[in-house]
Amino acid sequence: MSEARDGAVASRPVVSADEAAAIERRVAAFEASTGVEIVAAVERRSDIYPEVPWRAFALGAALASLAVLVGHALRAEWTTPGALLAQAVAVLGTGAVAALAASFVPSFGRLFIRDGRMAEEVGQRAQVVFLAREMFATPGRDAILVLVSLFERHVVVVPDAAWRDRVSPAEWSAVVERMAPPLAQGRLAQAFDAGLAALEALLAAKGIAAARPRHLMADTLVQGDATGGQP
């Protein structure tokens, strides 16, 4: 039963049908204008970060313990057996509430993860999606993956080998930066629109002429979940 429940959770769409349709239309327009195969992907999160609830619990329990120590200094009656039991429950309860909040409130959970760790996990997840979708199999090795991981609020662009000497890391980073503001506001479709517009401008500046779309890969938005969903 646990496996069935986990499968049901993983199979839930990451974004709404309307958002997915808008992103897929933008992907089709990009390919029509550039002739370059591109895959858009969105992850609910790129890792489960098992250490986060424990770190939140430790912080909550520590703050509650500090409050108890202050109470002891101010009120002598706080040292009775009943009061001590209540204080222990309060410390553990505060830690438990903090752990739950870190698990279910993304903005709180992110406080307990280094940005570098999140960037690394999203980058690894993007490589998994790139390989799983066999994006290296295009004739010109020129496919591009644009992946957004919602929990981390990170974007990764993975270009195939044909772009290695034509586009610099700084130019790919500029595309990511264009996507960051709408993504921070929770506007996923607008983030992809901004990113693909920046990619179109970048390819045009590199002299990439529009060509007939090859339609080697579906325009369908790839939706996954690092806790068990498919890439």
Based on the structure, what is the number of domains in the chain? 2
More confident residue, 167 or 71: 167
Q: Does residue 231 form part of some domain?
A: no
Write out the residue range of the structural domain in which residue 66 sits: 51-111
229 pLDDT exceeds 80? no
| CATH number of residue 27's parent domain | 3.10.310.50
Q: Does residue 198 form part of some domain?
A: yes
The verdict on 86 and 129 lying in the same domain is no
pLDDT tens by residue, 74-126: 766 666 767 777 888 888 999 999 999 999 999 999 999 999 999 999 999 99
Percentage of residues of the chain with pLDDT beyond 70: 85
Beta strands (DSSP E) in 86-195 are 144-149, 154-159
More confident residue, 207 or 110: 110
Average pLDDT over residues 35-64: 94
Confidence (pLDDT) at 10? 43
Give 152's DSSP letter: T
More confident residue, 85 or 56: 56
The verdict on 56 and 37 lying in the same domain is no
Average pLDDT over residues 12-38: 92
230 pLDDT exceeds 80? no
The DSSP-derived string for 168-201 is -HHHHHHHHHHHHHHHHTT-HHHHHHHHHHHHHH
